[in-house]
C-alpha cells in the first residue's frame, strides 16, 4: 500500500518537469514566436518536492494574469457587487417534487484549497492514451496520446480536474471529469488546449474545463512561489454567488447562479490597501489561531500578491476560495492562513463589457439589477460560438 507521504515523493519528478517546461517561452514574452522555439525541458529525476524550482509565469506579458493592478481605479459599483457575491443560492425539494430556492449570506473567511477541489499539474511520464466519454470533446478530437506520469491521477470526486503539460511544445491541456481507467488510459468528458505563450483566455462564448472558460492551472498558488515568498501573477478565486447569466473577460462563459448584478465571473478583485491580515479563528472556541513563522511568511506572500495582482473570479464555491496546486503545496500551507479575510476586504476593478450567457440570449440589453437569482446554466461544457 502506498502511503500519502510516499505518493507526494513519487510526484516529485512530474512536478519538477512541469516547472522546468516553464523556463523561457512559457513565462511570457513575444507571443508571435514559434512555440517550439521557446521550450526548455530539463528533468532531473533526483530532485524532490522539497527542492525549490524556479516558478515562471504562464502566458504572455500582456495577459490579464500577468498585469499589475495595484494602482488601478475601483468600479463605482464595487460595494454592491461584493455584497451580492456573499449570497449563496440553494434549492430545497418540497412536497410533490417542488423546489424552493434559498439564499444564505456567507460571511466565512477566505480559504485555500490544497487537496480537494483543486488542480494537479503534471508533465513527463510515459505515453498514455486519452479517451473522451462523450460526443462533444472540445479540443480532444486531435489529441489521443500525451505523456503522463503513472502516480498522479485526477480525482473524479472533485470534477476530475487535471492539467497536463506537453513538454515537446509550449502547450497545456485541461481535462474535465477525468479519471484513470482500469486499462491505464485517462478518460474525460471535455478537453481545452492552451498556448502557454498566449493571452490565457478565450473569445467570449468559448467554454472550457471550468464554468468560466478560464484555464484550470491559471492563478494556482505553486510550491516554488511559496518557497520563494513571491507570487507575480493574479490568483484564481471562487465566490459563493457569482452573477448568473453574465460574464466579463477574461472569462468566456459562466456557471454563476447568483443575482445577475452580482460579481460576474471574469471580474478582477483586489485586497484593499488598508486591510491588515488578522489571524484565523478556531470555529470551535472562537479564539485566534497563532500561525507558525512559516505560515505567516507564506500568508504574507499571498496577501502581497492580492494587493499587487489581485484575483480573477473563475468559479463559484461554498466559501471564498483560492487554489493551490494539488499534491505539492499541502505540506507548506494548511489552507486556513487567510481565513481572517472576508470578501468585504476586497474591491472590484472596472468590469468592462458584460456578455450574456448562453450566447443565444445575447441581445445586447442591460440586466435588471433587481432580478432574483436564476437557475445556473449547465456545468457540462458544450460547443459555443464566439460573439460576432
Q: What is the pLDDT of residues 35-53, one digit of tens each?
A: 333 333 333 333 433 333 3
pLDDT > 70: what percent of the chain?
78
Going by C-alpha positions, the residue among 372, 290, 371, 385 that lies closest to residue 334 is 290
Does 12 reside within a domain? no
Tell me if 59 sits within 8 A of 200, measured CB to CB: yes
Does 319 reside within a domain? yes
Q: How many domains does the chain have?
A: 1
Q: Is a pLDDT exceeding 60 seen at residue 374?
A: no
Task: Please name the residue that has the C-alpha cell 517561452.
Answer: 25
Does 129 reside within a domain? no
The mean pLDDT value for 174-203 works out to: 97
Which CA distances in Å does 167 have to 124, 178, 382? Answer: 7, 20, 28
Going by C-alpha positions, the residue among 241, 245, 235, 173 that lies closest to residue 205 is 245
Going by C-alpha positions, the residue among 114, 99, 44, 65 that lies closest to residue 268 is 65
pLDDT of residue 338: 97
Encode pLDDT of 357-372 as tens digits: 998 644 444 444 334 3
Name which of 14-18, 154-158, 291-295, 329-333 the model is least confident about: 14-18
Q: Is a pLDDT exceeding 90 seen at residue 348?
A: yes
Does 246 reside within a domain? yes
pLDDT of residue 52: 34
Q: Is a pLDDT exceeding 70 seen at residue 308?
A: yes
Compute CA 156 distance to the chain's CA centroid, rounded to the nearest angstrom: 17
Which CA distances in Å does 292 have to 278, 334, 365? Answer: 14, 11, 51
pLDDT confidence tier of residue 351, bands split at 50, 70 and 90? very high
pLDDT of residue 92: 80
Q: Is a pLDDT exceeding 90 seen at residue 112?
A: yes
pLDDT of residue 378: 32
Q: Is a pLDDT exceeding 70 seen at residue 243?
A: yes
Does 179 reside within a domain? no
pLDDT confidence tier of residue 89, bands split at 50, 70 and 90? confident
Encode pLDDT of 225-235 as tens digits: 999 999 999 99
The mean pLDDT value for 161-182 works out to: 95
pTM score, whole prediction: 0.81
Which CA distances in Å does 211 have to 64, 255, 258, 329, 358? Answer: 18, 5, 14, 24, 12
Q: Is a pLDDT exceeding 50 seen at residue 85?
A: yes
Does 110 reside within a domain? yes
Q: Is a pLDDT exceeding 50 seen at residue 74?
A: yes
Going by C-alpha positions, the residue among 214, 167, 162 that lies closest to residue 23 is 167
β-bridge mates for residue 281, sequence order:
288
Q: Is a pLDDT exceeding 80 seen at residue 87?
A: yes
The mean pLDDT value for 9-19 works out to: 37
Cis amide linkage into residue 235, ω under 30° from 0: no
Q: Is a pLDDT exceeding 60 seen at residue 174?
A: yes
Does 301 reside within a domain? yes
Going by C-alpha positions, the residue among 84, 64, 85, 83 that lies closest to residue 238 is 85
Q: Quote the domain boundaries for residue 337.
A: 78-116+210-361
pLDDT of residue 55: 63
pLDDT of residue 355: 97
Does 175 reside within a domain? no
Whole-number Å distance between alpha carbons of 140 and 361 = 27
pLDDT > 90: what percent of the chain?
69
Q: Is a pLDDT exceeding 60 seen at residue 387?
A: no
Amino acid at each position: 500500500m502506498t502511503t500519502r507521504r510516499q505518493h507526494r515523493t513519487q510526484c516529485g519528478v512530474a512536478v519538477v518537469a512541469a516547472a522546468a517546461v516553464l523556463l523561457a517561452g512559457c513565462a511570457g514574452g513575444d507571443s508571435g514566436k514559434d512555440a517550439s522555439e521557446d521550450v526548455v525541458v530539463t528533468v532531473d529525476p533526483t530532485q524532490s518536492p522539497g527542492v525549490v524550482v524556479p516558478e515562471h509565469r504562464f502566458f504572455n506579458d500582456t495577459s490579464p494574469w500577468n498585469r499589475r493592478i495595484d494602482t488601478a481605479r475601483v468600479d463605482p459599483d464595487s460595494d454592491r457587487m461584493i455584497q451580492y457575491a456573499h449570497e449563496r443560492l440553494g434549492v430545497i425539494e418540497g412536497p410533490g417534487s417542488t423546489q424552493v430556492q434559498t439564499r444564505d449570506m456567507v460571511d466565512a473567511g477566505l480559504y485555500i484549497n490544497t487537496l480537494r477541489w483543486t488542480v494537479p499539474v503534471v508533465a513527463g511520464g510515459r505515453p498514455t492514451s486519452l479517451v473522451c466519454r462523450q460526443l462533444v470533446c472540445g479540443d480532444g478530437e486531435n489529441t489521443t496520446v500525451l505523456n503522463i506520469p503513472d502516480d498522479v491521477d485526477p480525482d473524479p470526486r472533485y470534477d476530475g480536474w487535471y492539467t497536463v503539460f506537453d513538454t515537446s511544445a509550449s502547450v497545456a491541456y485541461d481535462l474535465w471529469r477525468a479519471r484513470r481507467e482500469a486499462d491505464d488510459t485517462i478518460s474525460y468528458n471535455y478537453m481545452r488546449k492552451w498556448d502557454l505563450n498566449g493571452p490565457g483566455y478565450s473569445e467570449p462564448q468559448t467554454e472550457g474545463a471550468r464554468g468560466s472558460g478560464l484555464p484550470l492551472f491559471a492563478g494556482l498558488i505553486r510550491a516554488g512561489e511559496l518557497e520563494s515568498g513571491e507570487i507575480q501573477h493574479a490568483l484564481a478565486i471562487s465566490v459563493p454567488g457569482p452573477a448568473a447569466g453574465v460574464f466579463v473577460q477574461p472569462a468566456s462563459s459562466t456557471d454563476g447562479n447568483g443575482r445577475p448584478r452580482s460579481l460576474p465571473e471574469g471580474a478582477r478583485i483586489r485586497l484593499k490597501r488598508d486591510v491588515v491580515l488578522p489571524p484565523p479563528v478556531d470555529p470551535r472556541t472562537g479564539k485566534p489561531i497563532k500561525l507558525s513563522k512559516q505560515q505567516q511568511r507564506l500568508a504574507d506572500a499571498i496577501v502581497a500578491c492580492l494587493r499587487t495582482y489581485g484575483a480573477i473570479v473563475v468559479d463559484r464555491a461554498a466559501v471564498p476560495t483560492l487554489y493551490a496546486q494539488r499534491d505539492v503545496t499541502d505540506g507548506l500551507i494548511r489552507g486556513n492562513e487567510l481565513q481572517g479575510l472576508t470578501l468585504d476586504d476586497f474591491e472590484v476593478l472596472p468590469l468592462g463589457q458584460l456578455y450574456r450567457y448562453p450566447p443565444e440570449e445575447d441581445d445586447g440589453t442591460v440586466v435588471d439589477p433587481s432580478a432574483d437569482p436564476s437557475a445556473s446554466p449547465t456545468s457540462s461544457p458544450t460547443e459555443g460560438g464566439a460573439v460576432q
